[in-house]
């Protein structure tokens, strides 16, 4: 993977993470917590690089 691909994946993950936090806090629904899965997957992936 080149750098541009990694940057795009990182930005999409960050947007999903903060959107998920925002929606979960506003609506108190657990469903929006699933938006954080890519963020945690990225954090776990960093350890295996």
Mean pLDDT in residue range 7-24: 83
pTM exceeding 0.85:
no
DSSP-derived secondary structure for 1-49? --HHHHHHHHHHHHHHHHHHHHHHHHH--SGGGGGGHHHHHHHHHHHT-
Pairwise CA distance, residues 36 & 15, whole Å: 10
Q: Is the pLDDT of residue 2 over 80?
A: yes
Q: Percent of the chain scored above 70 by pLDDT?
A: 94
Pairwise CA distance, residues 9 & 16, whole Å: 11
């Amino acid at each position: 993977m080149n750098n541009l691909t990694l940057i795009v994946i990182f930005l999409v993950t960050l947007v999903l993470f903060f959107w998920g936090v925002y929606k979960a806090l506003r609506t108190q629904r657990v469903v929006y917590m699933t938006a954080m899965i890519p963020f945690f997957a990225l954090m776990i992936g960093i350890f295996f690089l």
